[in-house]
Structure 1
Amino acid sequence: MDNPVRHRACMQPLWLLAGGYWLWLVWACAGEWTSSPDYNYGWFVPPLALYFLWKRMETARGALSGSGAKVADLLAWCVIAVSVAAVFPVELVRQTPIHWRPNLWAIGLLAAANTLAAAWLTGGLARLKIFLVPVLFMLVGVPWPTFVENAVSFPLMQIVARWSVGLVHLLGYPATAAGTTITLPNCTVGVEEACSGLRSLQTALMVGLAAGELARLRSAGRAVLLAVAFIMAIIGNQVRVLILVLAGINGGNASVQAWHDTAGYVVLAILLCGVGLAAAIGKSWRAMVSQPRDKPVEHSAAAARPPRSHCRWAWLALMAGCLSMLGAHSWYWWRANLAAPPSPPMLRPSGERGFVVDRAVPPAILGVLNPDEYAYIRETVGGTPLRAVGYHFYWKPREGNANQLYHRPDRCMPGAGWRIDGKVTRETMTIGGRNFTFNVFPFRGPAGPALMLWGSYLNGEPVEIEFESDVYLNTANLAQFIRTGTREYSYEVAACIMPYPEGQRPTPAQIEAYANRVFSTSGAE
């Protein structure tokens, strides 16, 4: 006689495959969870998801049955087959130095689809319901694509800045807002991404979903809890920026830095208290109005027994997934010796001819970009350093050079009150006898028109970017990385601002002369 327990055990390869997908996702996201303050909360997501799964399985024991639907079973196997086939190309892209967040979402969606398909095949609709919430909760930890972040953060930064200025005026203090920068009598306060609400909104999403699951609220209750979480995050952020502005008024920049972390804890406290109170109210309300549910119906073991062919397919899927992952890594191991050698810095900032070089780069910028070498170029008048007119960053060859590729003038400068006032052009100019390609941005800032010369070099080659497109992935570089097996590269950014009088845009010769004043060659070939 067939042993039904043995038949169910033969489907375990599907769960090994699903576990492999989630380990793959955690490994892919670990870098951002560790290095990006916006996503530090990601490390809390996997243990919470496992806890939710354990509690759901504990309350649903004995309620599992086979799917009993051949069409649905076939669809589930198709989902598994597609997810296995996608492992090779997705991992090929992930192995490149270009950190593309939609690729992380591809891994997350593959893991979710594969897990839900395995749940259907091994336990039918009952098991699918058990896994649904924990699986979807795991996606909360996947970093948002950069274009989504920008669409959320820039408007929030501007709104928070305007509201803060209005509140400061009500308190009787002078303040003005230009973009996301609040100018006070004795200092300026920049409403960065961390203070804009982006980080708090992401945390609010996780806290709201987690609280709804812990309170076991129904769908409507969870939606209300999410709304409360977002409202608390917005209120908390406004309070945070107001604290920093008042600190700046009373103590200048030093006071702003001293209060920065404390103000962040205020946001977290407001969020947790508000969501916790709403969850407690929702749980009490549900207890008063809900009817007791019937106990789960026991199902026979035979009802959950899969066909013999499913067991063979389960092992085949596991082996195919392992081979796909191994194949992607083998490609890089084989092609790595053909990769272009990384380049040392080609440019260096000039400390002569009216400029001075220092390393006083704001900690917020260094914390996001993490360059290995960095410097600001400041204009001097009578030997006194004034405003910064340029910068130079360099990242040594290593895996994971990611964040800097997504920080570009057309994305970052508008947040500081600058807008592009014309078409971005690419100009080749000679510095120290060598040719360098710069992107020339026509900006209009608070003080009038200016050109920004922005050069970015990957392994010594200028990066091709379509500035009129919202697509962040450079497909040409991506194809080159995959073809040559490149996992590491050096990256260099050199930029400077060239103000000019209204209606007197500099000529190419004047632009080149200015670039030669600000930068010189490093002498490293």
Structure 2
Amino acid sequence: MNPTPTRPWREVPGLLRALGPGSWWIPGSLAVLLVAWLWRIVPEWSANPDLSHGFFTPILFAVLLHESRQRGPLRWWNVSKLWISVVCLGLFASLGLLIIASLFAAALDWTHTLVLFLLGFSTTGALAALLLLAATPQVRLVPANWITVAALLLWVFSLPLPPGTYHSLTFTLQLWVSDRVLEALHLLGVPAIQNGNIIELANTSVGVEEACSGVRSLLSCVFAGLFFSAAFVRKVGSRITLLVLAPLLAIGMNFVRSLLLTLLANRGVDITGFWHDATGFAILGITAVLLGLLALLLEKLEDVSPAAEPVATPPEADNLTALAPARRVRPIYFAGYTAGLAVVLFFTVMTRPATTGNESPVPDVLAFMPPAPAGWRVATSTDLYRFSDILETENLGQRIYLKEGPNGELLQVTLYIAYWAPGQAPVSTVASHTPDACWPGAGWSPQPIAETTTRLDLGERQLHVAEHRLFHNQRMPQHVWFWHSYDRRVIREFNPRRPLELLSSVFHYGIRSDGEQMFVRLSSNQPWETIRDEPLLQEFFAGLQPFGL
């Protein structure tokens, strides 16, 4: 690595000519890739408050690349077999992630967070490969230093987290904040008890929801710390200090906000609306200011000797014929990204909404549920429409049946059906809305059971194998059985949060979901042996036989 000065941007056309005919395709394709990525990710930055800092990423990326040329150190990677191997590895990794993202888009959607996460890493890998080319002694456009690395990492910290990672992180932070707030309340003499992420006060209760978990401030603070570590300080110790303190400061300030809101609620203040949003923005601003002040303090404390004047450029550094080995990358890059473009176009076309010739009418899901069975009190749910956007269907129905059992105990049965017309939603989307994923957020705790699948006896016939779960809510049990029917056949349950299982659904059920789908759920406070002889269930499942049950 030689401390030679950077090359002016005006010499880029000459460098491309030195790389040989067609070399314009490398920066040109990356420019198209970057524009396409921004077109895809900007709506997510707009819709997801956790990623609002992403709007600064393109600007700060350009700023840091400029700073890397001005502040140095000016380190250059010699073109060698190792350099070619690293560049090719970056390109192939980028291409592989692009293909995998397309497969997941077929199983989910192009706007799904997991797809955006993979597409973002693919774009970052391609940018890294281009920057490696720019950091050779012959090109000398962008040096290989921490500032350049930080510029690349800004894109990574502007990506949405995969659902499984996001929920795990959120749940951990929710419980941590709830525990610490409860301890602080006890120290302040405020009576309170905790139920999960709910804090029960004397006259009200406060829930530490996902939006209050601190994920937003954590991501924004790490993003800011990364930028400050590259833009202000130079010593390794100072950079590590900023990167370590950034998440700790974010978590600590979010605890202060949660405690403040809880104390306000205890005083009878309505913390929804103004107070909730105002404290959130205030904490984000204060955290960013504190981190910036810390960066400025560390910069002043650094004993940085004056930068040495750039040495004269050695003759061999301007000998562009030394770039001949780098030309080997050009056909690999061209072939790889041509293939990648073909894959993306294929999946984009094939994952458009399907138009099938199936003109069968959409069934009335409530018609499958007995409206007034003898001896039962019936309540029909009327608020399911609020889940239509999440479930991607308006064909939802649920009825709750109650009666007194033979021994005086309360007998409760709940029937639920959701229906999707052919082409309305991918199989994996329907499979992602199981009780395992949705019920814990409503306060139901899953309980361990010996068998998670069972075949239920119903009179003289057996139902198709059902998924079986057991949940408790304040010691009230709820046995749950559910089925997922695709193209009028019950399919096996798979976990859409597990990438391999999700990809297998693409090959099992196709890129398009041309088959109609139905999700059927039966839940009760009693085990199956207690309710299986009820005529209510006989009538319900008789109507569902055409769908594979």
1:321, distance to aligned residue in structure 2 (A): 0.9
After superposition, give the CA deviation of every residue in 1:145-179 in whole Å (9 maximum; x if it has no partner): 33322332222211222222333344444432222
1:325, distance to aligned residue in structure 2 (A): 1.1
Greater shift in the superposed pair: 508-517 or 67-76: 508-517
After superposition, give the CA deviation of every residue in 1:421-464 in whole Å (9 maximum; x if it has no partner): 3143366799xxxx888633112332243223455567776664
After superposition, give the CA deviation of every residue in 1:41-72 in whole Å (9 maximum; x if it has no partner): 333323322222233234469x586x444222
The residue number in structure 2 matching 1:216 is 233
Taking a change above 3 Å as real, the CA distance of residues 109 and 256 of structure 1, as seen in their structure-2 partners, is closer
What CA distance in whole angstroms lies between the structure 1 residues aligned with 2:427 and 2:283?
31
Taking a change above 3 Å as real, the CA distance of residues 240 and 46 of structure 1, as seen in their structure-2 partners, is same
1:7, distance to aligned residue in structure 2 (A): 0.7
Larger radius of gyration: 2
Is residue 95 of structure 1 aligned with residue 105 of structure 2?
Answer: yes
Alignment partner for residue 273 of structure 1, among 289, 292, 302?
Answer: 289
Tell me if the contact between 1:180 and 1:190 (Cα under 8 Å) persists in the aligned partners: yes
The residue number in structure 2 matching 1:232 is 249
1:139, distance to aligned residue in structure 2 (A): 0.9
1:209, distance to aligned residue in structure 2 (A): 1.0
Tell me if the contact between 2:455 and 2:465 (Cα under 8 Å) persists in the aligned partners: yes
Alignment partner for residue 6 of structure 1, among 11, 17, 26?
Answer: 17
The residue number in structure 1 matching 2:135 is 123
Alignment partner for residue 507 of structure 1, among 514, 524, 529?
Answer: 529
Greater shift in the superposed pair: 321-330 or 297-306: 297-306
2:199 counterpart SS class: strand
What CA distance in whole angstroms lies between the structure 2 residues aligned with 1:519 and 1:285?
75
What CA distance in whole angstroms lies between the structure 1 residues aligned with 2:50 and 2:416?
25
Tell me if the contact between 1:395 and 1:490 (Cα under 8 Å) persists in the aligned partners: yes
Alignment partner for residue 317 of structure 1, among 321, 333, 340?
Answer: 333
1:360, distance to aligned residue in structure 2 (A): 8.1
The residue identity in structure 1 corresponding to 2:162 is P
The residue number in structure 1 matching 2:505 is 477
Taking a change above 3 Å as real, the CA distance of residues 468 and 69 of structure 1, as seen in their structure-2 partners, is closer
The residue number in structure 2 matching 1:347 is 365
What CA distance in whole angstroms lies between the structure 1 residues aligned with 2:188 and 2:36?
52
The residue number in structure 1 matching 2:448 is 421
Alignment partner for residue 125 of structure 2, among 113, 116, 135?
Answer: 113
Greater shift in the superposed pair: 322-331 or 455-464: 455-464
What CA distance in whole angstroms lies between the structure 2 residues aligned with 1:38 and 1:98?
21
1:256 counterpart SS class: coil
Q: Mapping of 1:9-158 within 5 angstroms?
A: 11-30=23-42, 32-59=44-71, 67-79=77-89, 82-83=92-93, 86=96, 89-98=99-108, 104-124=116-136, 127-129=143-145, 131-158=148-175
The residue number in structure 1 matching 2:11 is none
Taking a change above 3 Å as real, the CA distance of residues 256 and 250 of structure 1, as seen in their structure-2 partners, is farther
What CA distance in whole angstroms lies between the structure 2 residues aligned with 1:419 and 1:309?
59
The residue number in structure 2 matching 1:441 is 469
1:281, distance to aligned residue in structure 2 (A): 1.3
Greater shift in the superposed pair: 270-279 or 93-102: 93-102
Greater shift in the superposed pair: 122-131 or 196-205: 122-131
Alignment partner for residue 306 of structure 2, among 292, 300, 303?
Answer: 292
The residue identity in structure 1 corresponding to 2:381 is V
1:314, distance to aligned residue in structure 2 (A): 2.1
1:4, distance to aligned residue in structure 2 (A): 6.3
Tell me if the contact between 2:185 and 2:191 (Cα under 8 Å) persists in the aligned partners: yes
What CA distance in whole angstroms lies between the structure 2 residues aligned with 1:390 and 1:217?
63
1:418, distance to aligned residue in structure 2 (A): 1.3
The residue identity in structure 2 corresponding to 1:176 is I
1:268, distance to aligned residue in structure 2 (A): 1.0
1:46 counterpart SS class: helix
The residue number in structure 1 matching 2:409 is none
The residue identity in structure 2 corresponding to 1:7 is A
- Normalising by the residue count of structure 1, what TM-score does the alignment of the two structures yield? 0.75
- Identity fraction in percent: 19
1:237, distance to aligned residue in structure 2 (A): 1.9
Is residue 486 of structure 1 aligned with residue 509 of structure 2?
Answer: no
Greater shift in the superposed pair: 98-107 or 154-163: 98-107
What CA distance in whole angstroms lies between the structure 2 residues aligned with 1:215 and 1:414?
44
Tell me if the contact between 1:236 and 1:267 (Cα under 8 Å) persists in the aligned partners: yes
Tell me if the contact between 2:456 and 2:465 (Cα under 8 Å) persists in the aligned partners: yes
Taking a change above 3 Å as real, the CA distance of residues 164 and 89 of structure 1, as seen in their structure-2 partners, is same
Alignment partner for residue 410 of structure 1, among 420, 436, 449?
Answer: 436
What CA distance in whole angstroms lies between the structure 2 residues aligned with 1:134 and 1:122?
14
Tell me if the contact between 1:175 and 1:185 (Cα under 8 Å) persists in the aligned partners: yes
The residue identity in structure 2 corresponding to 1:38 is D
Tell me if the contact between 1:379 and 1:388 (Cα under 8 Å) persists in the aligned partners: yes
Tell me if the contact between 1:179 and 1:418 (Cα under 8 Å) persists in the aligned partners: no
The residue identity in structure 2 corresponding to 1:421 is P
The residue identity in structure 2 corresponding to 1:225 is L
- Count of paired positions: 503
The residue number in structure 1 matching 2:479 is 451
What CA distance in whole angstroms lies between the structure 1 residues aligned with 2:429 and 2:228?
31
Tell me if the contact between 2:351 and 2:511 (Cα under 8 Å) persists in the aligned partners: yes
Tell me if the contact between 1:80 and 1:117 (Cα under 8 Å) persists in the aligned partners: yes
Q: Mapping of 1:377-396 within 5 angstroms?
A: none
The residue number in structure 2 matching 1:161 is 178
After superposition, give the CA deviation of every residue in 1:96-133 in whole Å (9 maximum; x if it has no partner): 14257555454444433333333333432763336322
What CA distance in whole angstroms lies between the structure 2 residues aligned with 1:204 and 1:22?
25
The residue number in structure 1 matching 2:10 is none
Taking a change above 3 Å as real, the CA distance of residues 157 and 75 of structure 1, as seen in their structure-2 partners, is same
What CA distance in whole angstroms lies between the structure 2 residues aligned with 1:304 and 1:48?
31
Tell me if the contact between 2:413 and 2:524 (Cα under 8 Å) persists in the aligned partners: no
Root mean square deviation, CA, Å: 4.8
Tell me if the contact between 1:97 and 1:489 (Cα under 8 Å) persists in the aligned partners: no
1:264, distance to aligned residue in structure 2 (A): 1.6
Tell me if the contact between 1:458 and 1:492 (Cα under 8 Å) persists in the aligned partners: yes
What CA distance in whole angstroms lies between the structure 2 residues aligned with 1:109 and 1:381?
52
After superposition, give the CA deviation of every residue in 1:343-382 in whole Å (9 maximum; x if it has no partner): 95773597873324232888xx899x47554989696999
1:193, distance to aligned residue in structure 2 (A): 1.7
Tell me if the contact between 1:459 and 1:491 (Cα under 8 Å) persists in the aligned partners: yes
1:142, distance to aligned residue in structure 2 (A): 1.9
Is residue 179 of structure 1 aligned with residue 200 of structure 2?
Answer: no
